[in-house]
């Protein structure tokens, strides 16, 4: 997973998965992406950065199930400068994670260092981490807990990162299918 440079192969896979061939009309453009990054004090991880600049700013078809929200909407209520606090699965409804104030950490998981890309419904939201040690990874954040997405974390054979997440979805696979 390369979060610093988008490969032509990743960009081609994203164009194909979202069926976007409009010459960038549905994208934000680089000027808007740079302005967003300056306003929020972050540099978006690749290939998502190039995706919103050159391919599309969201999609009604998904992923996730209810569509990929646009960049501005995905940042609503988020403090992108503050790092995402987790590095491993945490089911907070069963455990305080050893935190003195677990409620405060849950708030950080939901609102620090991530873009809320959209929902699969029932409070299952997909977040792209934009700051902290998990930068570039996708996390599923639910009312019960949060878990990282990608083969390296278990639960799936899919590649980590935005392109791996999209490829897995476009291949018609269940999100978590590892044995």
Q: What's the confidence (pLDDT) of residue 61?
A: 83
| Cβ–Cβ under 8 Å, residues 126 and 164 | no
106 phi and psi angles, rounded to 5 deg:
-60, -45
Does residue 178 fall inside a structural domain?
A: no
**Is residue 137 domain-resident?**
yes
Structure tokens at 52: 């919103």
Q: How confident is the model at residue 84 (pLDDT cuts 50, 70, 90)?
A: very high
Q: What is the pLDDT of residue 20?
A: 73
Let me know if residue 2 belongs to a domain.
Answer: no
- φ/ψ of residue 31, rounded to 5: -60, -45
Does a structural domain hold residue 175? no
Note whether residue 156 is domain-resident.
Answer: yes
pLDDT digits (tens, 9 = 90+) for 50-79: 999 999 999 988 888 899 999 999 999 999
With a cut of 90, say whether residue 98 has pLDDT above it: no
Residue 158 has pLDDT above 70, yes or no: yes
Where residue 148 falls (left for φ over 0; alpha for ψ -120 to 50; beta otherwise) is beta
Residue 87 φ then ψ, to 5°:
-130, -10
**pLDDT at residue 129 greater than cutoff 80:** yes
Domain count, the chain: 1
From residue 179, alpha-carbon distances to 19, 45, 68 in Å are: 31, 30, 28
Task: Indicate yes or no: pTM above 0.75.
Answer: yes
Tokens found for residue 129: 């981490």
Q: What element of type H or E holds 126?
A: strand 125-129
């Amino acid at each position: 997973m390369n979060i610093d440079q988008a490969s032509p192969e990743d960009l081609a896979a994203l164009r194909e998965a979202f069926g976007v061939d409009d010459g960038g009309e549905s994208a934000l453009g680089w000027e808007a992406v740079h302005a967003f990054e300056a306003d929020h004090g972050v540099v978006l991880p690749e290939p998502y950065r190039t995706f919103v600049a050159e391919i599309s700013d969201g999609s009604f078809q998904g992923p996730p199930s209810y569509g990929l929200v646009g960049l501005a909407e995905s940042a609503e209520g988020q403090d992108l400068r503050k790092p995402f606090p987790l590095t491993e699965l945490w089911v907070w409804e069963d455990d305080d994670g050893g935190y003195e104030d677990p409620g405060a950490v849950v708030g950080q998981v939901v609102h620090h260092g991530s873009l809320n890309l959209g929902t699969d419904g029932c409070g299952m939201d997909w977040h792209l981490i934009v700051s902290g040690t998990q930068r570039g990874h996708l996390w599923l954040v639910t009312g019960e807990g949060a878990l990282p997405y990608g083969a390296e974390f278990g639960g799936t054979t899919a590649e980590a990162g935005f392109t791996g997440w999209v490829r897995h979805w476009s291949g018609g696979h269940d999100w978590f299918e590892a044995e």
